[in-house]
Structure 1
Amino acid sequence: MTYFIGIDVGTFESKGVLTDASGTIVAQAVSRHQMIVPRPGWAEHRPDEDWWGDTVAITRELLAKSGVDPRDIKAVATSAIGPCMLPLDGGGKPLMNGVLYGVDTRAVEEINFLMQKIGAETLLARCNSGLTSQSVGPKILWLKNKRPDIYAQARMFVSATPYITYRLTGDYAMDHFTAAGFTPLYDPAAQRWSPEFADGIVDLAHLPRLLWSHEIAGTITAAAAAETGLAVGTPVVCGTIDAAAEALSVGVTAPGDMMMMYGSTIFIIQITAAQVRDPRLWYAPWLFPGLHASQAGLATSGTLTRWFADQVFRDKPAADVMGEMAQEAATSPAGAKGLIVLPYFSGERTPLHDPRAKGVIFGLDLTHTRADVYRGALEGIGYAVRHIVETFEAVGHAPNRVVAVGGGTRNGVWLGAVSDISGQSQVLRQVTTGASLGDTFLAALATGHATLTDIEIWNKAARIQHPDKAVKALYDHQYAVYRALYRQTKHLMATLSEVDGGAAL
């Protein structure tokens, strides 16, 4: 028998699936954890508990639920949030919590320093991206500047997926897609670590070897087998960042395909035939040689809906009220009775790249209800998505096809608002398991049990969410207010950051 295991570690929960050779899901498992926010602008995970602990728990649950002999698991692939920054000592032990992706904005000073030292034009020419809160290079420099004792002990810097791979195999490996987020340490033209800007940041010997996402990174060690229940010698695929695995799971494979991932953040990936250089977007080689990816992401999306649930429904777990909140939002009309929400509750990533941006609820009056405020928040995310889509159009890469995936697609108000506001139809697939399914497909590719086009068989299209033209004029008007609202309050947001701790990020 032939089976594969895929595990994805997200911001608030990890998911795993076990599939057979045709992509049929045999077993699923979920493990939840928390994002740690020790101070404003910081975001962390515990690597052993949240990354490795979830991997162990999910693997054991998948094997127990399925009854599959571990020797019949032909390969394991993982994905995780990223890019993250985790320093390890010479024995592979974490020296601190993992510093998360762009939602963590602690390295503002280091970003500004490197931008001045290297120059924005040079960075764009060499790295195809600017430096933002998503970049790992400035976070390593932050560690050197602010925690020199930890930096001095570090012998390897990894992101979340490479750490899991290390715990499974004992080997350090990172895929090119993840490595591109280590700006300015990765050279996309040569597709290797680059010494050009590494001086003063990190010794390149302290970064993992680079592989393509579908290549085998190693095999299960005896120690990993004892913890997970997997068989010693089972191949482990290099894997990638969760958003890329999610895109693969829904058939985003050809130039012009765009993934819209509804998760803790909305993350967008568009496949391109050539490298795209624009400081508003992120660039990475795609998972396979010869293809490229332009990326964008908001700072808060699902995280914002969870925040709303935590504040308004304090007596109930957030997971239990999401459906109730969506039903309430549906009672509010399109436009939320004139409310405009800037969803910048943890700064904003693309295309603003403003870590000091603030959340705003604008236009409140005494007729508004919590349903209006929640709908306004969902529509605010929709306006932010439109801003990103317009950025792709401006650089000459309007999407040919948008495929939606992620838990947020179950919220009909949210899904509809994004289509109505952005003007984009969204294809939804039969299986919305997401990145963990993409991981199993990577495992099948790596071991020769699938070809790239087989994903259309593994996960067929189910329906299309079309924009409602009747509300276009309304949303066009409110979108103009949304864009102006940020422009006219940006300086006030920066001023506020100076007194709320933001200046000391």
Structure 2
Amino acid sequence: MNLFLGIDIGTFETKGVLVDERGVVWAQARRRHGISTPAPGCVEQDGDVVWWSDFAAVSQELMASDAAASGTVEAVGCSAIGPCVLPLDEDLRPLRPGILYGVDTRATAEIKALTTRFGEEALLARSGNLLTSQSGGPKIVWIGANEPDVAAKTRWYVSAHGYIVARLTGRVTMDHGTAGYFHPFYRMADQKWDVTGCEDLISPAQLPELGWSTDIAGTVTERAAGETGLPPGVPVIFGAVDAPAEAVSASVVNEGDLMLMYGSSTYMIKVTNAPIAGKVLWSAPYVFPGTFVLAAGTSTAGTLTRWVVDLLGLDNGAGDNELFGRLLTLAGKSPPGSRGLLLLPHFSGERTPVHDAHSRGALIGLSLDHDRADIARAVLEGVAHSVAHALSAYAAVGELPRRVIAVGGGTKNPIFTQSVTDITGLSQSIAETDGAAVGDAALAAFAVGALKDRESIGQWVKLGRPIEPDEASADTLRNDHEDYVELYETLSALNTARAVRLHGR
């Protein structure tokens, strides 16, 4: 039996699968991990203690399974959170913890300085995007400004899955889809690195070799085989950030498809056949040559449900399934609209469509009549409002999706999914998939010819019945959404002023 190993390193969990050519998952393994927040706005993970240690442990468990004993691993794919920034020395050793994707907002000053240096129009022409907390370049510049000793020793700047590929093969790589978020060091039109105007900030030699997600980066070395249990010589692909890999796992491969990923944050990818530059949505190459994405993301989703679970004392130690079941049961006791409560879920700032690192959470409408159920539902609906707000950016540029496929742990939360559909009017189909790790395996199978074309990936996926708007609740939630947008706009200047006063930035 031919098998394909896929491992995805998420914000709070690493998951791996062994999949055959038909898309059947024969073995799974997981490891939980956490994040580090050493200062306000800073979110990190250790490249060795979290990323590599998890990959190696999950790989070892999978390779010790009965499935691995009865088959042959033909190729390996890895995805991870991103774009992250991890500096490596000449020997591929991390010099500091990895700086995470858009939830890390430390580089606000660098974003402003680089925007002033180039100008918005030049940035759009160069990278197809303005600079935001999702951009890798300002975080590299932040290291240079705040940790000059680290910057001086840095041979390479890689993202999370690029570090895994380097440890597996000895080759330092980055897929175009990830590089497309390392603004302003990537030129979208030419799909190549370009540090013109940034020569004082970075050397082009510090940026990895570029390729597509399905390109073969190399093969598993003897040393990596000893640490992971993989056979030496197995091909390893360039891989991808977790969101594109998750989109692949849900058969989001054709123009007009949009993946809506409900995870610790939410992320959206719409497939296009050409790059579309803009100031709000992120434009980047996709995983296949000739394909691109328009992407959006919010800052909090699953992280906020975890917060409210702790706040309301719902954790009885029985595990996540029962834990979030208790939250849903409680929230279900409050009607749509949460009896007048409205939550702004910007506990870590917000990404699309406002890109405001200073925005913070707010709960309005409270009275002595409200109870725990109303607060629980207001949190869930607040996340739905943030998703709908992000999706509005697609409508604003005439890029509404033709098909929305929902994935991720949040799809088990019907208040999330139904509320998003009610607010936006967009139906959603939930993909029955084991997530980004399956997408990694599919990309690996595609790379070695086991899957003949992109459409073949769709044979691995089952879609549930579409979620349609419920008119009984849609009017309430759509009216609330207008208030939601106004609430953000009303608080924006105040939150910025407070951030400057409290944190000096």
- Report the TM-score, using the length of structure 2 for normalisation: 0.97
Assess, with a 3 A threshold, how the Cα gap between structure 1 residues 376 and 315 changes in structure 2: closer, same or farther.
closer
Q: In structure 2, which of residues 364, 367, 390 is the aligned counterpart of residue 365 of structure 1?
A: 367
How far residue 313 of structure 1 moved from its aligned partner, in angstroms, is 2.4
Q: What's the Cα RMSD here?
A: 1.3
Equivalences for residues 268-287 of structure 1 within 5 A: 268-287=268-287
2:212 matched residue in structure 1: 212
How far residue 499 of structure 1 moved from its aligned partner, in angstroms, is 3.3
Q: Is the 8 A contact 2:104 2:133 kept in 1?
A: yes
1:171 matched residue in structure 2: 171
Equivalences for residues 490-505 of structure 1 within 5 A: 490-501=492-503, 503-504=504-505
Distance in 2 separating the partners of 1:430 and 1:147: 44
Q: Which amino acid aligns with 2:199?
A: D
2:334 matched residue in structure 1: 332
How far residue 115 of structure 1 moved from its aligned partner, in angstroms, is 0.6
Q: Which amino acid aligns with 1:444?
A: A
Assess, with a 3 A threshold, how the Cα gap between structure 1 residues 197 and 182 changes in structure 2: closer, same or farther.
farther
Distance in 1 separating the partners of 2:309 and 2:148: 39
* Alpha-carbon displacement from aligned partner over 1:431-465 (angstroms, at most 9, x marks no partner): 2x110010000010001000211122111222211
SS in structure 1 of the partner of residue 56 of structure 2: helix
Moved more, 438-447 or 268-277: 268-277
Q: Is the 8 A contact 1:63 1:70 kept in 2?
A: no
4+ runs deviating over 3 angstroms: 314-318
The yes-or-no answer on 1:59 pairing with 2:59 is yes
1:380 matched residue in structure 2: 382
Q: Is the 8 A contact 1:176 1:212 kept in 2?
A: yes
Q: Is the 8 A contact 1:133 1:353 kept in 2?
A: yes
How far residue 201 of structure 1 moved from its aligned partner, in angstroms, is 2.0
Q: Is the 8 A contact 1:270 1:293 kept in 2?
A: yes
SS in structure 1 of the partner of residue 31 of structure 2: strand
Q: Is the 8 A contact 1:171 1:217 kept in 2?
A: yes
Question: Any stretches of 5+ residues in structure 1 without a counterpart?
Answer: none
* Alpha-carbon displacement from aligned partner over 1:256-278 (angstroms, at most 9, x marks no partner): 11100000110000011221111
How far residue 402 of structure 1 moved from its aligned partner, in angstroms, is 0.4
SS in structure 1 of the partner of residue 466 of structure 2: strand
Distance in 1 separating the partners of 2:316 and 2:120: 47
Q: Is the 8 A contact 1:198 1:204 kept in 2?
A: no
2:437 matched residue in structure 1: 436
* Alpha-carbon displacement from aligned partner over 1:195-252 (angstroms, at most 9, x marks no partner): 2243222101011100100111110001110011100000001100000000010111
How far residue 128 of structure 1 moved from its aligned partner, in angstroms, is 0.6
Distance in 2 separating the partners of 1:101 and 1:197: 24
1:184 matched residue in structure 2: 184
How far residue 323 of structure 1 moved from its aligned partner, in angstroms, is 1.5
Q: Which amino acid aligns with 2:439?
A: G
- Report the TM-score, using the length of structure 1 for normalisation: 0.97
SS in structure 2 of the partner of residue 463 of structure 1: coil
Distance in 2 separating the partners of 1:413 and 1:473: 15
How far residue 71 of structure 1 moved from its aligned partner, in angstroms, is 7.5
1:203 matched residue in structure 2: 203
How far residue 369 of structure 1 moved from its aligned partner, in angstroms, is 1.8
Distance in 2 separating the partners of 1:198 and 1:191: 17
Q: Is the 8 A contact 1:80 1:241 kept in 2?
A: yes
* Alpha-carbon displacement from aligned partner over 1:46-84 (angstroms, at most 9, x marks no partner): 110111111011111112233414971000000000000
2:455 matched residue in structure 1: 453
Q: Is the 8 A contact 2:2 2:71 kept in 1?
A: no
SS in structure 2 of the partner of residue 464 of structure 1: coil
2:227 matched residue in structure 1: 227
Q: Is the 8 A contact 1:416 1:465 kept in 2?
A: yes
Distance in 2 separating the partners of 1:408 and 1:121: 37
Question: How many aligned residue pairs are there?
Answer: 502
1:312 matched residue in structure 2: 312
Distance in 2 separating the partners of 1:480 and 1:66: 54
Distance in 2 separating the partners of 1:363 and 1:162: 46
Assess, with a 3 A threshold, how the Cα gap between structure 1 residues 48 and 70 changes in structure 2: closer, same or farther.
farther
Percent identity reads: 45
Q: Is the 8 A contact 2:184 2:195 kept in 1?
A: no
How far residue 315 of structure 1 moved from its aligned partner, in angstroms, is 5.5
SS in structure 2 of the partner of residue 34 of structure 1: coil
Distance in 2 separating the partners of 1:71 and 1:153: 43
Distance in 1 separating the partners of 2:40 and 2:369: 32
Equivalences for residues 94-493 of structure 1 within 5 A: 94-313=94-313, 316-317=316-317, 319=320, 320-431=322-433, 433-450=434-451, 451-493=453-495
* Alpha-carbon displacement from aligned partner over 1:18-64 (angstroms, at most 9, x marks no partner): 11111100011110000111111110001101111110111111122
Q: Is the 8 A contact 1:383 1:422 kept in 2?
A: no
Distance in 1 separating the partners of 2:197 and 2:470: 48
Distance in 1 separating the partners of 2:60 and 2:148: 38
Distance in 2 separating the partners of 1:279 and 1:358: 22
Distance in 1 separating the partners of 2:315 and 2:378: 23
Equivalences for residues 8-23 of structure 1 within 5 A: 8-23=8-23
Q: Is the 8 A contact 1:71 1:230 kept in 2?
A: no
Q: Is the 8 A contact 1:184 1:197 kept in 2?
A: no
Q: Is the 8 A contact 2:419 2:477 kept in 1?
A: no
Q: Is the 8 A contact 1:192 1:210 kept in 2?
A: yes
SS in structure 2 of the partner of residue 347 of structure 1: coil
Equivalences for residues 28-43 of structure 1 within 5 A: 28-43=28-43
Question: Any stretches of 5+ residues in structure 2 without a counterpart?
Answer: none
Equivalences for residues 85-96 of structure 1 within 5 A: 85-96=85-96
How far residue 286 of structure 1 moved from its aligned partner, in angstroms, is 1.2
* Alpha-carbon displacement from aligned partner over 1:306-339 (angstroms, at most 9, x marks no partner): 1222332275457251121112111210011111
SS in structure 1 of the partner of residue 251 of structure 2: coil
Q: Is the 8 A contact 2:314 2:323 kept in 1?
A: no
Distance in 1 separating the partners of 2:398 and 2:442: 31
1:79 matched residue in structure 2: 79
Moved more, 107-116 or 188-197: 188-197
Q: Which amino acid aligns with 2:116?
A: Q
How far residue 498 of structure 1 moved from its aligned partner, in angstroms, is 2.1
Q: Is the 8 A contact 1:214 1:237 kept in 2?
A: yes
How far residue 101 of structure 1 moved from its aligned partner, in angstroms, is 0.3
Q: Which amino acid aligns with 2:151?
A: Y
Q: Which amino acid aligns with 1:388?
A: A
Q: Which amino acid aligns with 1:340?
A: L
Distance in 2 separating the partners of 1:436 and 1:205: 31
Q: Is the 8 A contact 2:384 2:420 kept in 1?
A: yes
1:25 matched residue in structure 2: 25
